[in-house]
Structure 1
Amino acid sequence: MRATGTFNVKSFVPTDVTPDPAITTALPVGVAKLEKQFEGEITGRSATLFTSAFDQAAGVGTYVAMESFEGALNGRAGTFNFVHCASTDGTTRTDMYFAIVAGSGTGDLAGITGTGDLLIDADGTHRMVFEYELA
């Protein structure tokens, strides 16, 4: 099955985390908490833990995000977790990974497995795609 939708970031809150031991690299590492709101075949919200090594000025870096989703895919309501990451050289997204966490589904989404993608349109619209199966 496939579900697509758009999302908006409702909040992006940088969170102080101090690695131990402290190691300085060419790209600063940061952590943030996000809340997203979804519309389309994907409706609901997610709570996201977001980690990145990123140079804002150059637009170069990599992120890893773990999301807890609550809502519906194609009208089937429940919750589940998914993880995604990508790198950028400032113009192109590469090294993308996206997976639904097996065993994390509840409600009508119990038994969900699969993959997906996060896409950014030229106008800045953020899109989420889930390619999934239900047990």
Structure 2
Amino acid sequence: MAAPAPGATGVVEFLDRVDHAVATALSTHPSATEVSRDGWRVLLMLARGTGRSMGEIAGHTSLPAPTATRIVDRLVERKLAYRSADPLDRRRVLVHLSAEGRTVVESVCQRVQRILSPRRAPAARPAACDSTIPGPRAGSVV
């Protein structure tokens, strides 16, 4: 059996650190303690734009449609996301990040950044946790 390439080991170790940081950040945020990894991936997707269809969510997360629907159902129950009719096609439902969901994403991203950043120098902000996340803020009417 061949040893892994030196660069690959570093990447895998970094991804393991990021995965652990996300799990830690999710487990310590009161509104996100029961959000699964797949739920987190959906929240990040929703944070990057406007409403998304269930087909887009399932495709982006590589989840079967019924699983994606159950995850969105849980996010809606926890008030981290909400559904609305597509203004262009009233038969289609769009999923949006709620103000509470946006607060969770921003808080978890900041915590992940603190966990991963060296103490002496600020690290670049991960693209998934861009501070210019569009949409409603906590306290705004959705």
| Class of the TM-score when normalised by the shorter of the 2 chains | under 0.3
Structure (1/2) with the larger strand percentage:
1
Structure (1/2) with the larger helix percentage:
2
Q: Which has the higher contact order (CA 8 A, sep 6+)?
A: 2
TM-score by length of 1: 0.25
